[in-house]
Structure 1
Amino acid sequence: MNRVMIGLGALAFILFVAASSLFTVNQTQQVLITQFGEYVRTIQTPGLHVKVPFIQSVTAFDRRLLDYDAPGEEMILGDQRRLIVDSFTRFRITNPLLFFQTVGAAEQGIRGRLAPIVSSSLRRVLAGEPLLSILSTDRTRIMGEIRRQVNEEARRFGVEVADVRIRRADFPDENTQAILARMQSERERVAREARAEGAEVAARVRANAERDRTVLLAEAEANAQILRGAGEQEAIRVFAEAFNRDPEFYQFWRTMQAYREVFSGGEQRMVLTPESDFFRYFREMPAARMPAPAPAVPAPAPG
């Protein structure tokens, strides 16, 4: 009975020692082995590993990208404008031993170390840049310089900074109304300039249209005068031919035209003597002859 108890106790001790000697490293971890606080080795290969039980300790660090969100801080830009900048930093632990020696076993400790580094780098770089550069394509260059400065200081903690970005940039509350007023004034100025340019273009278009209209009317009038002159010339030629061919008929036709123009209205008054040449054709008109009456039929003789 005692042998059985001793055997079971020995087996339990062996299992306990084995459990204390074996540990697993995940793919997302890197492990630091220390013995009585002194560094022994670093394990970055995932799988099952062995350590000396009871005297060696295992400290695991995340090997993935970690985030640090910096609170919003007021920065003074190169053009003396104030801006509240909210940034975030992505980093990874590349040297677990240096990280353990400078920061400690807790990963949260690095965030307290990164806070002043990120803040000072942002202030140094943004102090030399105007607002338009931050809002334009130069923002990539600016953030690259900030990341470089943060990375140089973060290496002494065994950390590599992968990226630093400005998440949000706002104006302070006391500047917002003034900026909005300036923006409104600028938009009104642009609108006035646009309206003035539109009025100028409209006036130019109207002037061109009026000029074209005047030219077209002048050309039309000139063409009409040419056609009218040609028509009158042709009429004169026809009248001349008619006069030369039969002067008496031409004179008669012209007199008839004058009669029609004078007597058609009914309101004209003329004081002329009957012997006037104007009534020549009235005087020369032959008198109308009345037909002779039919002879009377003789009455029949009484029978």
Structure 2
Amino acid sequence: MAASNLIIPVVAAVALLGSMSVYTVKEFETGIQFRLGEIVKTDIPPGLHFKLPFVNTIRTFDERILTISTPPDRFLTSEKKNLIVDYYIKWQITDAAAYYRATRGDERAAVVRIDQIVKDGMKSQISNLTIPEVVSGDRDLFMRNVIEATNDDIAGLGIRVVDVRIMRIELPPEVSQSVFARMEQERAAVASAVRSRGQEQARRIMADADRQRVEIIAEANREAEQLRGEGDARAAEIYGQAFNKDREFFEFYRSINAYKKAFAGDNNVMVLEPNSSFFRYFGDQSGGDVSRVEQPAAVNRLPSLP
């Protein structure tokens, strides 16, 4: 009976010692093993592990990316204007032993230190920028500078800042109107400069078009004059050939054309010298003396003088 009564306590003691000798590290954690308060093993991987009861203790730390949500804070720009910036921080434990030594494993202490270092980096960056540069500048470059500066400062803490993102930027009421007015003026100046460049370009295009028009017209006139000269030369050549073939007929033909032009309009009254040869073909078909043409008929058609 006495032996049987000892079985249960022994089994219970063995089970207790067994449970105290086994521990589990989750898949998203890393572990540190202590012996009497001193770190003896780090970076324990996920899985089932063993330890000495009452001698070894285990601390596990989350290796996932964690988020710090900070309340909006005021930052001073290079113009000595306040901006209200709302942002968040993504961070991760990279060295569990260094993290434990720096913070004693207290996540709240780590969050406070990270937030303060990031805030100092934000102040340093924003203090060198104007409000328009912060609002509409290269946000990615701005954030990279903050992250790099922060990671340099926390290099010995066993953690790293993965990302810092601005969620919202607001202007205090006392400066918002003046800032908006100045931004409108700057945009108006940019628009005016763009319009001026467009107008200048339009003037250059119009001037070039006018120059080309003048050149084209001049070239056309030159070609026309050349063709006209060639035509006149050809006509003179034809006239010369006709004159040489039959001089009398040529003179008659020229006189007929002159009569047509002279009497083409309503005013067909002409005053000529009595011995003019203009009407020599009127009275003499052979082109004889003009004195045979009866001139008084033409003279009688003159209007009476007042």
Decide: shared fold, TM above 0.5: yes
SS at match of 2:107: coil
Q: Please tell me whether the aligned partners of residues 82 and 171 of structure 1 are also in contact (alpha carbons under 8 angstroms).
A: no
* Correspondence for 2:165: 167
Change (3 A) 1:33 1:161: closer
Aligned length: 275
For the residues of structure 1 that align with 2:105 and 2:214, how far apart are their CA atoms? 93
Matching of residue 135 in structure 1 with residue 133 in structure 2? no
Corresponding letter in the other structure for 2:181: A
1:25-63 per-position Cα deviation (integer Å, ceiling 9, x unaligned): 44523144465xx4474454343213325x865443334
Distance in 2, matches of 1:138 and 1:9, equals 67
Q: Cα gap change, 1:224/1:7 in structure 2, threshold over 3 Å: closer, same or farther?
A: closer
C-alpha distance 203-265 of structure 1, shift in aligned 2 (>3 A): same
| C-alpha contact (below 8 Å) 2:82/2:171 kept by paired residues | yes
CA drift of 1:3 comes to 4.3
Over alpha carbons, which structure has the higher Rg?
A: 1
Question: Superposition pairs for residues 1-303 of structure 1, below 5 Å?
Answer: 1=1, 3-27=3-27, 28-33=29-34, 38-39=37-38, 41-42=40-41, 44-46=43-45, 47-53=48-54, 58-78=58-78, 80-83=80-83, 84=85, 86-92=87-93, 94-96=95-97, 99=100, 103-104=103-104, 106-123=106-123, 125-126=124-125, 129-131=128-130, 132=133, 135=138, 138-139=141-142, 140-149=144-153, 151=154, 155=156, 159-163=157-161, 165-168=163-166, 170-174=169-173, 175-265=175-265, 268-270=268-270, 277-284=277-284
One-letter amino acid matched to 2:150: I
What do residues 221-277 of structure 1 show as CA deviations (whole Å, max 9, x unaligned)? 333334333433443444344444433222222222233334555662347899975
Structure 1 segments, 4+ long, off by >6 Å, are 271-276
Q: Which amino acid aligns with 1:146?
A: T
In 1, distance between residues paired with 2:277 and 2:87? 115
Counterparts in 2 of 1:173 and 1:165: CA distance versus 1, 3 Å: farther
Deviation at 1:167, TM superposition (A): 0.6
Partners of 1:30 and 1:62 within 8 A in 2? no
Q: Offset of 1:121 from its aligned partner?
A: 4.5
Q: 1:182 to 1:230 in 2, by over 3 A?
A: same
Cα distance, 1:202 vs structure 2: 2.0
Amino acid at match of 2:159: V
Q: List gaps (5 residues or longer) in structure 1.
A: 287-303
Instruction: Classify the secondary structure of the residue corresponding to 1:167.
Output: strand
Query: Is this contact kept in 1: 2:72–2:86, CA < 8 A?
Result: yes
Letter in 2 for 1:148: D
Distance in 1 between residues matched to 2:220 and 2:193, nearest whole Å? 40
Inter-partner Cα distance in structure 2 for 1:93 and 1:214: 77
Residue 164 and residue 80 in structure 1: after superposition, are their counterparts in 2 closer, same or farther (change >3 A)? Answer: farther
Amino acid corresponding to residue 128 of structure 2 in structure 1: E
Provide closer, same or farther for how the CA distance between residues 143 and 265 of structure 1 changes in structure 2, counting only shifts above 3 A: same
Report the 3-state secondary structure (helix = DSSP H, G, I; strand = E; otherwise coil) of the residue aligned with 1:268. Answer: coil
Cα-to-partner distance string for 1:166-217 (whole Å, 9 max, x where unaligned):
3106242434444333333222222222222222222222222223322332
Check whether the contact 1:76–1:126 (CA below 8 A) recurs between aligned residues.
no
Aligned-residue sequence identity (percent) comes to 24
Quick one: distance in 2 between partners of 1:102 and 1:211?
Answer: 79
AA aligned to 1:50 is: K
Q: CA deviation at 1:144?
A: 1.3
Aligned AA for 1:70?
Answer: T
C-alpha root-mean-square deviation of aligned residues, in Å? 3.9
C-alpha change, 1:165 and 1:176, in structure 2 (3 Å) is: farther
- In structure 2, relative to structure 1, the CA distance for the partners of 1:260 and 1:170 (3 Å cut) is same
- For the 8 Å contact 1:25–1:31, the answer to whether it is kept is no
Report the Cα distance in structure 2 between the residues aligned to 1:95 and 1:278, rounded to whole angstroms.
Answer: 128
Task: Describe the shift of the 1:270–1:179 C-alpha distance in structure 2 as closer, same or farther (beyond 3 A).
Answer: same
